[in-house]
Every structure is written in structure tokens, then in C-alpha cells.
Amino acid sequence: MILWIIYAQPSIYPINTMSLTLSQRLSLKRFTKGEEAHAGSITLNHRRIFILPSKGGLALAMVILLMLVASINYNNSMGFVFTFLLAAVSQASTLYSFRNLSGLNVSLAKAPPCYAGSMGHIKLYITENNNRNRWTIHASHLHKQTNFDLVGDTSLLVNLPVKLKTRGWYSPKTITLSTQFPFGFFRAWSPLRFNEPILVYPSPIDFETTLSISQDSDHLDGSSSPLTGTDDFAGLKPYQQGENYRHINWKALAAEKGFYSNVFSAEQSTQTWLDWQACTQLSIEDKLSQLCFWVLRCEKKGTEYGLRLPKIELTPNHGARHQHACLKALALYGS
Amino acid sequence: MEASTIKSQPLQPVLVYLLVAIGMLLIAPHIGELNPSFIAIGISLLIWRALTVKLPTLLPVKFILLPLSIGLTFFVFKTFGMSLGRDASSSLLIVLIGLKLLESKTARDAQAVIYMCFFMLITPFLFDQRIELAIYGLIIFFMLLFALVLNNTHTASFKNPPLLRLSGFILLQSIPLMLLFFVLFPRMIGPLWAMPNQQSAISGISDTISPGSVSNLALSDETAFRVRFHGKPPEQKQLYWRGPVFWDTDGFAWTHVLPTPVNNDTKPTTVPDTSYQYTLMMEPHQQRWLYGLDTPISAPRNVQITNDQQLILKNKLDRNLSFDITSSNNHPRLELSKNAKERALQLPKNIDSRVTALATQWKNTNPDPSDIIRQALSFYNAEFYYTLNPPSLSKNPVAEFLFDTKRGFCGHFATSFATLMRAADIPARLVGGYQGGIYNSVGDFYTIRQADAHVWVEVWLEEGGWTRVDPTAAIAPNRIEHSIDVSQQQLNRNITFLLSPSEGLEKWAQHVKWMVNSIDYYWQSAVLAYGPEKQLEFLSNFGIIDWSDMILWLSILSGVFVLAAVSTLFIPHQNKDPVQKGYLRLCRKLSKITEEKKPYETTSDYIDRVITAKPTLTSELNIIKTLYLKTRYGSDNQQAFLKAIKQLHISNTPAFFYTRTIHR
């Protein structure tokens, strides 16, 4: 038992990363939350890996104690042998728990941006450079968790879903890699914090605000009109996230064809300005959501669109890069 | 997407089978020791669980399982009472492991079952600590470790060499620390609390001797004790291991009465010329006496030497212990006290008139007691037979044996001889013990088996004091010359004392037997006997004399050990791949010719560059290049590649100059 406790202290010799001050070293936060957030990859070493008996390990300690009492009571040599062997095995298992984590290189893969209110993904890119097998490592972030093995492979992408509530930059909280390998007596864990925020776009919501047209002087052809009309039914198209539910074609849904929404004919301009001023009656967040919806809609239709926010103007264009630029501007509005 | 934690994952069928197998193996050593009903219950529960893997509908629901558990636990307590002794706890564990396994659905349950199995693993050793059983236990221990790994990695197959290797490696790695604890962990004398009395079998000579009582031992090959002499051992026929001394008889049996404590002043003042020092390595026989030669003159403090030269312990011997004893073959010339003389002459009330008549007749014809003895022995020699299957005796065993049946073995001869002597006014007493022993030349010790059990008589002679007389020897002198080999004895037959000379195969077999015996000896004396006394004795060689020293050294050494183990984690990872090693060696060799391999160069490019630098090696290097590519990216060709590298000789100096000039 004493040995366990001695060994449970993480060694405090920095190897390849910057050294810590004494107060940082002794800070309890380091055990649970991890060190300062880090950009790029982190190699797990003795400074970042902690180890303590798990619940199963405490139960084992009870078993060992019982075995010891029985051996003492009967003065039984073989009883002592197996009691001490079990204790020694549990001591040795700490090395293997540690080795199961140590040397792993962890970085956050570029996460695709996502919309507020949806599930995003934290992608851990884990590489193994020591030519060792890694068994049953548990990755957790907030309350989401997943297990993975690295047997015979050298790298792995681990996906941790995360609920994204608000737009803007989302910084992942502490990601904990832990393992109870090999026997479940000890839990070795390594809390990691990464400085790799995920961009969260506003959630696209159609408030059915009519887009008041603001045309460019170059395109005075008078052909522009609201982006989507509500006049004449023109057919069905797959439902797009954020569209008004009133446009869902319920007949199609009832026929188990899936989500389709009605499309109504409307005249379109080939170049549209999506303007902050267009949705005056909405709150700021709703405005952003509406604009976000329009951006997606325009991109889908192939319309060239520009975005006008207070102090920000993106000239009309289209394509994935432009869409991202627009959505990013919306996501980071006000921050 | 949310993964459940590992602990609540369902059990793999493979693990269920493994645990059932382990359960069976754990129950097996208890067969014959425990109440058969518990063994049957345990085995049926395990079989039930094994069947449920294929037929999940058989899994018991809670309302069956709960009453079943309560019922079975109640059954255990009803059988054994509330005290959890050795038998009770083993039985309870057998039942509980079966029940818990039956209930197990998740990895967490399996973990609990495995923990119970670890505890269960030490219970057979409370009954028996043979070396075979220890190895058996070690195998189960390994299986349990593997079960733990399977459980914690959720592997669905046995065939997992990395995990098997890992379990084995951890086990091996743990042995040094285990040994350290085994040697240094302070042992306590006596139990922590009194355990319910176990009916441990009393083995060997018992505390009553009736004419037929030794026959049950005569065919037993079990070891009674072992002896190692320090110095020259006595002759084989002098090896009379004296145990209990019997003074009192009721005509049927002789009873051993523990002597009252005596002061040890009666020790002979002069050290005799011939003394034997030996270490007695006792098996637990649940009696208070030890076995010694002739007259013990010194013994460990916990052993008392009585006036009649018995070695008496304070408590019953319930574990393997060893004793250093010195014996002299000179009999102490003490006066026979009046009390002792009366006791040694007392005749049973039911003594037959024929016995007294015969004794009186001898006494009248011979004035000298030693002549009476001689005449008595020739009486035995003339008419008596030695057999292990004597006719049964009823009312008056001594007379019936002497005058009717005339067939018997040492018990018959000794009891009747002692009675005759007493009837002839010669003080006599009975001594139980062992005669002889098998010398093991491999381990340099004697093994004394139960089959060597023997009973003889000591008579008081004015000129010589207590003198050993072995009436059995009068019948079969070979009985004294050699030990009887049990394997040659058969029931219902007279014993032949001819020993066939061991030759060829038999000699080898004998040798193997000695080896096994030696291993067993060291096992007994070094491992099993390592108790509080032996620990102190052993550790005092290193200057460790009490608990605090032991704890201190235990902490220091285990600390050092753990630090050493931890430090292995920081040794840079060595590349064990032979091809990679060979390749590095090749690079070192080639770097003598031209500059080292640049990071951007492929191996083929590099070798080509070397070839341009040293065209004389073109063919060799081309072969190496092909072999390297083959080993790395194609079929396995390791040996050829490594061999080619070995054979590549680069003449050092010219190449050195050559490269210099090229690169300038």
C-alpha cells in the first residue's frame, strides 16, 4: 500500500517541455484539469500522467488484506507467497498502466465548423511512435466518452461529440485520456487541454423575414425579388436544417419519404446582398441566425451573395470559401 | 455515439468459459478434503453458468437467485456453525463463487468473481502445501491474471499472444518483490485469534501402542521427518529414532503419559566422546514429542529433554519446523529412582499365568538379567514369525501372541517382550519411534518414512543403565540392517527381506526418486518451515534481529526495487528489430566509405551513391540493396540480409583516403 502511494505521485522532472514553477507543480488543478492549454500536439510523459488506485484497486487491497490475515492466522507459507505475489503483481501493473499511456502523441485534428445547437466533434489525432500496443484507452470530454485500442496501428482518429450551444469560438475543455489496463487495479489518467478552438456558426433559422433588396448599382436590372417566395408551389426539395417547419411537406413525411420542404417559385437575382439592416425587427442573435440561413440558401442555389454587417462587408461571391468567410463573420460578430 | 464505460460492458463468453474453468480447477484440490455436497453444489453452479452461454434462457432470474443464495449460505452456516474456520470458509467460497458467476452480467461482476478466486486460491494450502500444489496454484494464478486482462480489455478470444505474454511477463516481474516480502515480512507466532479446532490428521506413532497399532504405518510411504547430520552419521543399524516412551500398560495397550516438567540439572557433566549433531526437520504430526537418537544432550530452547530422554515440545507440532539437536550414544548412568523402578516393573492386572510362569522359569535358571534377556531373544528367534498380517488377538493379547499365534510384527514383539521382562523382575519400558531412514545422496539427508515406524524395548541393567533391546531384530535381523522398501511389501504375505540390487534402469529410477525427495526436502525446510523462528534465525545472519529492523529493511529494499522498476520506463526505447539493427550496422559500415545517409535520401539512392564512391563493392552492395528491399517490403528474407551485411568487409584506410579526395 505504501508503495502504491509513493508511486502514485507523478514524477516531477520535466523532459522536453517547458518547466513548471513550484506552485504550478503542486497545484491540484494539474491532476484534474491538466496543464495550461497547449497548441499543437502533446506527448504524454510522466509529468502529465497520474496514477491512483481505482475502485477495483481499493477492493483488491481489501482482498489482499484478507488473504494476509488468513495467512498470518494459519501461519501458512504458501498463503504468504500468493498474497505477496498478488500485491507485487498489482505494483507491477502500475508500470503497465503508465506505459499504456506514455509516449502517445495527441493533437486535435482540425474540426469542421458546425452550427450552434448541433453536435460538434472534437477529433483527437493520436499517434503511437514507440511500436507498442495500447489497449482500452478511455477518452472523455465533459460527459462524452469513448474507448479505443491501438493494436498494430500507429495512428488513430478519435471522435468525441460535443454539444455546441453558442456561436463563436468554442474552446474544448479538459480532455482526459485514462486507462485501467491491464488489470483494472489502477487508473492512469492524463488531463489535456488544447488551445485549438472550434468555430461555431450561428444556428441557421428562417424567421421568414423578407429580405429587403439592396442592389448594387452595377446590377440595376430590376429583376430582384425576395429570395424565396410563398406564392406558387414549384415542387419539393430536401429539407434543409433551419428552414421553417411550416414549409415541410407533411404528406411526403407521412409517406415515409423523409423530410422534404415545399419550394415556391420566386424570382431570383443572380447577385444578392444579405443585409443586417434587412431584418430590423429581430434580436441580434436571431438576425445572425437568419443571415446564416440565407447564406446557406444562397450558396445552395448558386447565387452570388454578399454580406453586410455593421462595420463588415463581404463583397458578393460564392463558393465554399466565401460561405465560410461569411459564416465566420456571423459567428464572430460582436466578439 | 456515447460509449458506455468499460465496467458496465457485457461479459464476453470467452471470459465466462475461462472463469468456469478456473472455478473447476480451484475446487479440484478440495475434493476429498471438504464435504462432498459443497463440492457438488459448486461444480453444478459452474456447469449451469457454462450452459447459459449457449442457452441464455437458462440464466436465473433474481427471484430464483436470491432464495438460492440465501438457502445455500444458510446451508453452509448450518453445517459449520457461525465460526468461519478453514473448512467453512472454503465451502462458503466455493458456493459464493458459483453464485456470483451465475449472477455476473457485466465486466464489473467478473472483476468481483476474479477477486474471490484469488482468495479461494490460498484455501487449498491450508490443507496441504506440497510443491505440486504450489505449482498448480501458480498456474491458476496466471490464468486469473489473464482473465483480468481479458476482462479489462474486453477481448473476445483466448488466442491473444500479446496479452498472454503480458500476463506472464507481469507475473515473472512480480516474483522478486514477492520473495522480498516473503523473507522480510515479520511473521507472528501464533494465530491472531483462536480458530475452530480442525481435525488435522495425527500421523505417525500415536500416544497409545497396542500390539497391532503400528501395522497401519508399515505400508505408508509418507515422510515422517528428515534429518541432516553435521558430521559423520551413525551406522544405519544404530539409527533408532526415539519418540514417546511408554511406562504404563493395562494389558491391552501401552499409554503415553506426558512427563512432568523436570529441571535440566540431570544432564551429564562431561561431554561424551561420540556425539552426533543433526538437524531434525519435522513434518507436522500433531503430537508433542520429537524423535531423537539415543541420549539427547542439547536441543533448542523450546524443546525439553526429559529424564527418560524424550524430546517434548510445549505445544502440539502443527507446522513444519526444524530443530538442531545433539545426541550422545553414551547412556547416562543414572540411579533408577524407587518410583521409576516401581513404574517399570508394574504388571497389568490381567496378566496370564503362562506369561508369569515362563518368566519365572527363566529367572530361576539365569541369575544374571542379561542372560534372561538372551534367553528371551532366542525364544523369539526359535518360534516366531514376522508378518504384517497377523491373526487377530482378543482378550489377552500378550499371552495369545506368545503361546498361540506366534505371528506378528514389532508391536507384538515389543509389548510381549516388555511384559515378559517385567514379569522376570527386570525394569522395562516401551519406546515408540522409527528405525533407519533412507540416505539421499543428492541432498545429503536421511528421509524417515512412516513405514520405518518401529517399537522396541528398553530394559534397566545394573551395569549399563537403560539398554535398548529390539526383540523384532531377533526374528529378522535384516529388519535392522536395511529399511524395508514399501514398494516391495505386499499385504497378506510374509515379507521378504531380500533387497534386489539396484542396477541400470532401477538405479536411475532410484536416483530420480532421490532428486524428487531432495527438492521436497528443500521445499519443506526452506519454504514451508519459514516461520517466525526460522525467519529470525535466518535474518540474524544479516544483523536483522527484530520487527523494526525487518520493517525498515523491507521498506528500503522494496523502495529500491520499485525505483529500479520505474527507472526502466525512462530507458530509451531500444529497437529490437533485427533487420533494423542490421541496417544501422550497414549504415555505420558504409559511412566509412562516404558521408552518412542524408535524411532526404532513400536507402537505394544512398547505396547507389556509395557504389559510385567505391565501385569495387558494386556487386555486394547491389545484393544487399535487393535483399534489404525484399526484407522490408516483400517476402521475409531476414537471415540472408543479415548474413550479407556480416560478410561485407570494407577495407578501412584506402576507403578513408578515397572519400576524402572525392569530397574535396
Where are chain A's structural domains? 2-200, 217-229+266-331
| Band (A211; pLDDT cuts 50, 70, 90) | low
Average pLDDT over residues B644-649: 76
Q: Tell me how crowded residue B260 is: count the other CB atoms within 10 A of its CB.
A: 7
CB of B659 closer than 8 Å to CB of B593: yes
Which three cell numbers, joined as nine digits, stand for A227? 429570395
Cα nearest neighbour of A58 on chain B: B115
Taking alpha carbons only, the member of A209, A179, A157 closest to residue A93 is A179
- A85 touches B: beta carbon within 8 Å: yes
Which DSSP helix (H) or strand (E) runs through B420? helix B410-423
Q: List the beta strands (DSSP E) in A89-141.
A: 104-108, 114-115, 119-128, 134-141
DSSP state of B405: I
- A16 touches B: beta carbon within 8 Å: no
Q: Nearest CA of chain A to the CA of B21: how many Å? A: 19
Taking alpha carbons only, the member of B18, B24, B25 closest to residue B163 is B18
Average pLDDT over residues A249-259: 76
- The reply to whether residue A182 touches residue B191, judged by beta carbons under 8 angstroms, is no
Strand partners, A274: A307
Q: Nearest CA of chain A to the CA of B137: how many Å? A: 8
Taking alpha carbons only, the member of B122, B248, B564, B362 closest to residue A73 is B122
Burial status of residue A271 (CB atoms within 10 A of its CB: 0-12, 13-18, 19 or more): buried
Q: Characterize A101-122 residue by residue with b for buried, 16 or more Cβ atoms within 10 angstroms of its Cβ, and e for exposed.
A: bbbbebbbeebebbbbbeebbb
Residue B331 has what pLDDT? 66
Query: Taking a contact as any Cβ pair under 8 Å apart, which residues of chain A between 225 and 254 contact chain B?
Result: none
C-alpha neighbours within 13 Å on the C-beta side of residue A113: 22
Which DSSP helix (H) or strand (E) runs through A278? none
Query: Taking a contact as any Cβ pair under 8 Å apart, which residues of chain B between 343 and 402 contact chain A?
Result: none
Tens digit of pLDDT for each residue in B372-395?
A: 888 888 888 877 777 766 777 777
Q: Sign of the C-alpha dihedral, residues B497, B503, B509, B512?
A: positive
Closest CB from A7, A66, A144 relative to B562: A7
d(CA A259, CA A250): 8
- The reply to whether residue A3 touches residue B558, judged by beta carbons under 8 angstroms, is yes
Q: Nearest CA of chain A to the CA of B86: how many Å? A: 9
Strand partners, B494: B387
Measured in degrees and rounded to the nearest 5, phi and psi for residue B499 equal -100, 125
Residue B465 has what pLDDT? 82
Taking alpha carbons only, the member of B289, B320, B319, B318 closest to residue B305 is B289
Strand partners, A150: A134
Its pTM stands at 0.69
Check: complex ipTM more than 0.90: no
DSSP string, B631-662: HHHSS--HHHHHHHHHH----HHHHHHHHHHH
Helix, strand, or coil here: B1? coil
Residue B262 has what pLDDT? 58
- The reply to whether residue A182 touches residue B170, judged by beta carbons under 8 angstroms, is yes
Tens digit of pLDDT for each residue in B106-143?
A: 889 999 999 999 999 999 998 888 899 999 999 999 99
Q: Nearest CA of chain B to the CA of A88: how many Å? A: 5
Q: Nearest-5° angle of CA A331, CA B2, CA B3?
A: 145
**529497437: which residue's cell?**
B575
Higher-confidence position of B605 and A227: B605
d(CA B509, CA A72): 39
d(CA A307, CA A288): 11
Taking alpha carbons only, the member of A218, A303, A320, A308 closest to residue A267 is A303
Closest CB from A70, A159, A184 relative to B111: A184
Q: Nearest-5° angle of CA B225, CA B231, CA B235?
A: 65
Least confident span in A82-91, A216-225, B48-57, B513-522: A216-225
d(CA B650, CA B664): 21
**Chain B interface, mutation test: which of A75, A134, A142, most B Cβ atoms within 10 Å?**
A75
Average pLDDT over residues A224-236: 54
Tens digit of pLDDT for each residue in B470-511?
A: 888 777 554 443 344 444 443 333 343 334 444 667 778 777
Measured in degrees and rounded to the nearest 5, phi and psi for residue B372 equal -60, -45
| Band (A232; pLDDT cuts 50, 70, 90) | low
For chain B, report the end-to-end CA distance as a whole number of angstroms: 64
DSSP state of A243: S
d(CA B577, CA B598): 22
**Chain A interface, mutation test: which of B136, B154, B167, B178, most A Cβ atoms within 10 Å?**
B178
Q: Nearest CA of chain A to the CA of B629: how many Å? A: 21
Q: Nearest-5° angle of CA B505, CA B506, CA B509?
A: 90
- The reply to whether residue B569 touches residue A79, judged by beta carbons under 8 angstroms, is no
d(CA A294, CA A207): 10
Higher-confidence position of B360 and B406: B360
Most confident of B198-212, B318-332, B428-442: B428-442
Least confident span in A75-79, A94-98, B137-141, B410-414: B410-414
Expressed in percent and rounded to 5, the helix, strand and coil fractions of chain A are 30, 30, 40
Q: List the beta strands (DSSP E) in B453-517.
A: 453-461, 465-469
Cα nearest neighbour of B180 on chain A: A84
Average pLDDT over residues A231-243: 68
Q: With beta carbons under 8 A apart, name residues in chain B contacting A152.
A: none
Taking alpha carbons only, the member of B90, B91, B99, B109 closest to residue B45 is B99
Q: With beta carbons under 8 A apart, name residues in chain B contacting A146.
A: 1-3
Q: Nearest CA of chain B to the CA of A17: how many Å? A: 16
Q: Nearest CA of chain B to the CA of A258: how many Å? A: 23
Q: Tell me how crowded residue B181 is: count the other CB atoms within 10 A of its CB.
A: 20
* Residues 6 or more apart in contact with residue B329 via CB below 8 angstroms: B234, B238, B272, B274, B275, B276, B293, B294, B295
Query: Taking a contact as any Cβ pair under 8 Å apart, which residues of chain B between 6 and 45 contact chain A?
Result: 6
Higher-confidence position of B306 and B632: B306
| Cis check: omega of the bond before A182, within 30 degrees of 0 | yes
- B106 touches A: beta carbon within 8 Å: no
Residue A88 has what pLDDT? 95
- B647 touches A: beta carbon within 8 Å: no
Query: Taking a contact as any Cβ pair under 8 Å apart, which residues of chain B between 206 and 225 contact chain A?
Result: none
Expressed in percent and rounded to 5, the helix, strand and coil fractions of chain B are 55, 15, 35
DSSP state of B348: -
Residue B634 has pLDDT above 90, yes or no: no
Tens digit of pLDDT for each residue in B343-359?
A: 888 888 888 888 888 88
| Band (A95; pLDDT cuts 50, 70, 90) | very high
Residue A214 has pLDDT above 70, yes or no: no
Residue A89 has what pLDDT? 95
- The reply to whether residue A86 touches residue B532, judged by beta carbons under 8 angstroms, is no
Say what percent of chain B tops pLDDT 70. Answer: 84
Q: Nearest CA of chain A to the CA of B404: how many Å? A: 50
d(CA A320, CA A325): 9
Tens digit of pLDDT for each residue in B43-99?
A: 999 999 999 988 888 888 888 888 888 898 888 888 887 767 788 889 999 999 999
Query: Taking a contact as any Cβ pair under 8 Å apart, which residues of chain B between 305 and 324 contact chain A?
Result: 319
**500468493: which residue's cell?**
A82
